[in-house]
Structure 1
Amino acid sequence: MDMLLVFLLAAGLSGGFVNGLSGFGTALFSLGWLLQVMPPQQAVAIALVCSLVTGVPGVWQVRHSIDRRRLALFILPAFAGIPIGTVLLGLVDTRLLSLLVGGMLLLYGGYFAFRRTLPTIEGNWTLVEAGIGFVGGVLGAMAGLSGALPSMWLALRPWPKAVQRGIMQPFSMVILLVATVLLALEGVFMPQVLYNLALVLPASMFGAVIGLMLFRRMPDALYPRVLIGLMLISGGTLLARTLLAGGA
C-alpha cells in the first residue's frame, strides 16, 4: 500500500475516533500523521474539515442536552476573540504558543489523571466561562487550539457527559467553521487537497462512528477521566510535534 495512503488513513481513523469518543482532539491526533506527507496549511485544512464533518453526529447525539444559554456564554465571547487571534497570528510565535499550551495540557492531564477523586467546580462562574470562551476564540484563530481551555474547565464541572459535550463540541465547531472559511478564501482547497480529503474523510467518519458508540456506553463518571487522559496524550503529542518541527 502506498505510504501516503497509509498516513492519510491513520490520520482519519485516529482523529475521527478521538472526536467521536470525546468531542474534541481531531487536529491534535490527526496532524501528526498529515504533517508527514503534506505542507502545514494543507494538513490543517484537511483536519478542520474532518473535525467539522465528524462532529455533526456527536452534536446530534447530545442535541437534547444542549443548554443554549450556557453554550452562548462560551460562543459569543469567542467571536470577539477570533479577530484578535487572527491579528496576533502575525505577531506571536505560534511555536512558542503551541509549546505553552502543550505543556499546560500535559501538566493538567498528568496532575488529575492519577488522582483517585477529581475536584468539582460548582456554582455560577459566568465571567470565568465567558473569559474561557474568549481565549478559546483567540487560540482557535491562532493555532487551531480552541478546545484546549474549555475541555480543561468542563472536565471539572459536575455535569452529565452529554451536557459537557453539548457545550464543548458545538463551541469548537463554530470556531473551526470560521477558520475553515478563512482558509477557503485563501485558496487552500486546491485539487490535490480535495483529493487527499476524499481519502481521509471516509476513514475519519468510520473512526468517529466507533468512538461515538463507545461514548454512548460510557458512564457519566468516566467521561471526565477520558477527557483528562486525552489531554495528557494531547499535550505530549503537541509538545513532541512542535519540538520535532523546530528541530527539523
Structure 2
Amino acid sequence: MILDPLFYAAAVPAVTLMGLAKGGFSGLGMLSLPLMALVVSPVQAAAITLPILIVQDVVSVWAYRYTWDRRNVGLLLIGAILGILAGYLLAAQVSDAAIKLAVGVISIAFAVRRMVLEWGGREPKPTAADVPRGIFWGWVTGFTSMIAHAGGPPFQIYVMPQRLPRDVFVGTGAILFALVNWIKVPPYLALGQFTAENMATAGALFPVAIASTWAGVLLVRRVSGQHFYTAVYGLLILVGGKLVYDGAGALL
C-alpha cells in the first residue's frame, strides 16, 4: 500500500471528483487520472482507479437501478465490447495523445453546437436510439475508455440528443460504465497491473469513493432537468478542452 501523504493529497480529491461524476455530474471524473498522475505513473494511477470505479459503480447502479434505458445500454454495450478489444489489441500502435485530441475537438464542437441551437430557440427534435449509431458510438466509447480513459464524451455525444429524463440519462451511463469497467478487468489482469500494493491502496480509498458517489447522487437530484443538461454541456466543453490540451501538448 502506498503510504506517501503526498499521494493521498492528490488521490482524495481525485476520488471525490470520480464519485461526483458517478453520482451524475458526468465529466468531472476525467480530471481524476491527471490529478493522480502527478504523484504516480499514469499506468499505476489507472490500475488503482479501476477497483475504485467498480466500487462506485455499485452505489450508482443501486441509486439508478429503476431509471435506465435498456435499448441504449444494449446497443452501446455491443459496440463497447468490440472497442475495448480493439483498444487492447492496438494499445501499442495507437497514440493516446491523438485519441484525446480528436475526442476533445469533437466534444467541444458538439457541446457548443447544441448550446447555440438550444439558446437560440432552435433546439433539434430529440433523436431515438438506433442500431448503427448506437453500436458506432459504443465502439468509440469502449475504444477511448481502454486507450485514453475518455469514454464519457462519446457516450454523451450519442445519448444527449435523445433528451432523456435526467435520471434515465444518468442511470443509463451508470449501468453501461459499470459493465464496461468489469469488461476491462481481464485486460488489466493480463497487463499485470493489479498488484498487491495497487489493490491495497485502492481499498484505502474506498470510503471516500462511496461517500462522494452518494453525495453526487443527492446533489444531482436537486438540479432540474433543463439546468442539468446545460451543466453537462458546460462540463463536456471543459473536459473537451482538457483533452485537447493534454493531446496537443503530448503531440507537440
Instruction: Identify the TM-score tier after normalising by the shorter chain.
Output: 0.7 to 0.9
Q: Is the 8 A contact 1:45 1:180 kept in 2?
A: no
Superposed CA deviations along residues 188-237 of structure 1, whole A, max 9, x for unmatched, are: 12233223323433223222221110122222222222221211121122
Q: Structure 1 residue 18 and structure 2 residue 52: aligned? A: no
The residue type equivalent to 1:150 in the other structure is F
Runs of at least 5 residues in structure 2 that lack an aligned partner in the other structure: none
The residue type paired with residue 215 of structure 1 is: V
Distance in 2 between the 1:229 and 1:172 partners? Answer: 21
Q: Which amino acid aligns with 2:146?
A: A
In structure 1, C-alpha distance between the alignment counterparts of 2:44 and 2:129, rounded to whole Å = 41
Q: Secondary structure at the match of 1:222?
A: helix
Q: CA deviation at 1:126?
A: 2.8
Partner of 1:46: 48
Tell me which residue corresponds to 1:84: 86
Are residues 122 and 32 of structure 1, via their aligned partners in 2, closer, same or farther at CA, if it must alter by over 3 Å? same
Q: Equivalences for 1:81-230 in 2 at 5 Å? A: 81-113=83-115, 115-116=118-119, 117=121, 118-123=123-128, 125-230=130-235
**TM-score, with length taken from structure 1:** 0.87
Amino acid at match of 1:7: A
Is the contact between residue 133 and residue 158 of structure 2 (CA under 8 Å) also seen in structure 1? no
Partner of 1:7 in structure 2? 10
Please, what TM-score do these two structures have when normalized by structure 2?
Answer: 0.85
Q: CA deviation at 1:7?
A: 0.8
- CA separation of 1:93 and 1:170: change in aligned 2, threshold 3 A: same
CA contact (8 A) 2:21 2:216 kept: yes
CA RMSD of aligned residues (A): 2.4
**Equivalent residues in 2 for 1:68-83 (5 A)?**
68-83=70-85
Offset at 1:182? Answer: 1.8
Percent of aligned pairs with the same amino acid: 21
Q: Confirm whether residue 36 of structure 1 aligns to residue 41 of structure 2.
A: no
C-alpha contact 1:11 1:204 (8 A) present in aligned 2: no
**Cα separation, partners in 2 of 1:166 and 1:17, compared to 1, 3 Å:** closer
Question: How much does 1:20 deviate?
Answer: 1.4
Distance 2:132 2:115 in 1: 27
Name the CA shift for 1:113/1:18 in 2 (closer, same or farther; >3 Å).
Answer: farther
Deviation at residue 39 of structure 1 after TM alignment? 1.0
User: Which deviates more, 188-197 or 109-118?
Assistant: 109-118
**Unaligned segments of structure 1, at least 5 residues:** none
- Per-residue Cα deviation, 1:154-208 (whole angstroms, up to 9, x for no partner): 2221221122223222222222222233213332122332233234332232222
